[in-house]
């Protein structure tokens, strides 16, 4: 599902889909990993996931296992999940709570939560060995709207610079304070870019999502971010529906102090390269899309509501969750059929219509970031 265009300011006549190799070639995926996933700010969770000192979660970035943790001083930090001794993976469980240290389970090298090596049995017998030379390798970390972003680049561009166009834009949605009430994940046998493109237009809604189309007419609304790494816009929720739910009713309290217009709108944005953010008056959905291979992706989803919602009368997140579970499965199925087709020798870039201006802009951003200026 996704936002669509009314205004065509970002549409360039003659815009076409990308060549097939971008969806099938292992070499392209390897380039993506290096030039995009290993250099950009990648969304790895929410600050609220780390309640107490020692709480950690593992993230996968460009094939790397990264430990994201809150240290005992309350700061969020991230490290490569690799012991400096013989390379052993330090943390195994996807999440957990560490004691005051990270100890390697193999030969007991021990690190403080700020990464310093503080114990290394028998290494004092090695002449010239200095624990200061073997801290954990750090990974850059930053936050935006309560979401945590990691960046493998040794000297990353500051997130505040990279996110300048949207730094304040969603402030009224109260995102850092929302609570996660539901999580799910899907495996999709399609290239992750097909998932991002699919989210970015609603021209497919009448054929793929007949039920959704009765609540979110695909010709309503407008795109308001039409070029660059942040893309998307809104659709009007068609009365008498109050939200994008099975019943059409709101499933919880308003997310924040929303202006009247935003109380009847649904917003759909992509945050390049992997994040998708759906904002409804009463709930948000936070997606991350992870390439698992040239032809396979995993999509992780979280449903966020106002912290007072779960205890409020009429709260019913299932009403929204089922709406999107059905819609998302319809989308994954068609993405999988696209994957099969674009692998054909006869597939060639086809023409985008003005109502596919956002996927066209997403493709342009992707190719720019990949450094492929000429196709």
Which residues form the interface with a second copy (CB under 8 A)?
13-14, 17, 20, 63-65, 80-90, 92, 105-108, 121-123, 125-129, 134, 137, 203-204, 206-208, 334, 337-338, 340-347, 350-351, 353-355
CB of 14 to a second copy, least distance (A): 8
What is d(CA 279, CA 269) in angstroms, rounded to the nearest whole number? Answer: 9
Task: Work out whether strand 64-70 and strand 76-80 pair parallel, antiparallel, or are unpaired.
Answer: antiparallel
Which of 37, 173 has the CB closer to a second copy? 37
CB of 186 to a second copy, least distance (A): 18
CB of 130 to a second copy, least distance (A): 10
CB of 131 to a second copy, least distance (A): 11
- Cβ-contact 150, 42 below 8 angstroms: yes
CB of 93 to a second copy, least distance (A): 12
CB of 151 to a second copy, least distance (A): 14
Which of 80, 287 has the CB closer to a second copy? 80
The string of DSSP codes covering 305-332 is E-TTGGGSTT--HHHHHHHHHHHHHHHH
Residue 253 burial (CB count, 10 A)? 20
- Cβ-contact 22, 371 below 8 angstroms: no
Which of 239, 350 has the CB closer to a second copy? 350
Which of 175, 202 has the CB closer to a second copy? 202
Which of 45, 359 has the CB closer to a second copy? 359
Which of 12, 172 has the CB closer to a second copy? 12
CB of 219 to a second copy, least distance (A): 10
CB of 249 to a second copy, least distance (A): 30
CB of 330 to a second copy, least distance (A): 10
How distant, in Å, are the alpha carbons of 107, 116, 168, 249, 346 from that of 190? 41, 41, 34, 33, 18
**89 contact partners, CB below 8 Å, separation of at least 6:** 65, 81, 82, 83
Residue 154 burial (CB count, 10 A)? 10
Which of 81, 223 has the CB closer to a second copy? 81
CB-count exposure of residue 279 (10 Å: 0-12, 13-18, 19+): buried
Which of 64, 318 has the CB closer to a second copy? 64
Report helix angle 357-370 to 192-199, nearest 10.
140
What is d(CA 362, CA 227) in angstroms, rounded to the nearest whole number? Answer: 8
The helices-and-strands tally (H runs, E runs) of the chain is 8, 17
Which of 46, 355 has the CB closer to a second copy? 355
Respond yes or no on whether the N-terminal peptide bond of residue 273 is cis (omega within 30° of 0). Answer: yes
CB of 206 to a second copy, least distance (A): 7
Respond yes or no on whether the N-terminal peptide bond of residue 258 is cis (omega within 30° of 0). Answer: no
- Cβ-contact 78, 67 below 8 angstroms: yes
What is d(CA 226, CA 97) in angstroms, rounded to the nearest whole number? Answer: 41
Which of 219, 247 has the CB closer to a second copy? 219
């Amino acid at each position: 599902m996704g936002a669509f265009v009314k205004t065509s300011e970002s549409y360039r006549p003659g815009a076409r889909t990308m060549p097939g190799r971008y969806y099938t070639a292992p070499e392209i995926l390897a380039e993506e990993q290096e030039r995009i996933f290993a250099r950009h700010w990648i969304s790895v969770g929410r600050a609220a996931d780390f309640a107490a000192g020692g709480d950690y979660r593992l993230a996968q970035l460009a094939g790397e296992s990264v430990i994201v943790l809150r240290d005992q001083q309350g700061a969020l930090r991230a490290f490569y999940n690799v012991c400096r001794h013989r390379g052993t993976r330090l943390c195994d469980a996807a999440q957990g709570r560490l004691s005051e240290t990270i100890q390697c389970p193999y030969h007991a090298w021990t690190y403080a939560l700020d990464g310093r090596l503080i114990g290394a049995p028998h290494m004092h017998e090695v002449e010239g060995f200095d624990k200061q030379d073997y801290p954990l390798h750090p990974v850059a970390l930053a936050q935006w709207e309560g979401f945590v972003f990691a960046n493998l680049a040794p000297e990353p561009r500051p997130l505040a610079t990279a996110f300048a166009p949207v730094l304040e834009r969603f402030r009224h949605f109260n995102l850092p304070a929302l609570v996660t009430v539901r999580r799910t994940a899907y495996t999709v046998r399609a290239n992750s870019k097909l998932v991002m493109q699919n989210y970015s237009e609603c021209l497919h809604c009448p054929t793929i999502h007949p039920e959704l189309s009765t609540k979110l007419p695909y010709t309503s609304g407008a795109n308001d971010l039409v070029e660059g790494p942040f893309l998307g816009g809104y659709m009007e929720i068609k009365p008498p529906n109050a939200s994008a739910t099975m019943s059409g009713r709101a499933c919880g309290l308003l997310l924040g102090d929303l202006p009247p217009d935003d109380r009847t709108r649904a917003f759909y944005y992509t945050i390049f390269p992997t994040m998708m953010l759906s904002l409804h008056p009463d709930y948000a959905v936070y997606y991350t899309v992870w390439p698992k291979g040239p032809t396979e992706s995993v999509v992780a989803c979280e449903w966020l509501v106002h912290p007072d919602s779960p205890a409020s009368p009429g709260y019913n997140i299932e009403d929204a969750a089922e709406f999107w579970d059905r819609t998302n499965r319809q989308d994954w199925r068609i993405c999988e059929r696209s994957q099969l087709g674009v692998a054909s020798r006869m597939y060639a870039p086809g023409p985008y219509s003005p109502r596919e201006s956002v996927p066209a802009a997403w493709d342009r951003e992707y190719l720019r970031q990949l450094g492929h200026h000429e196709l």
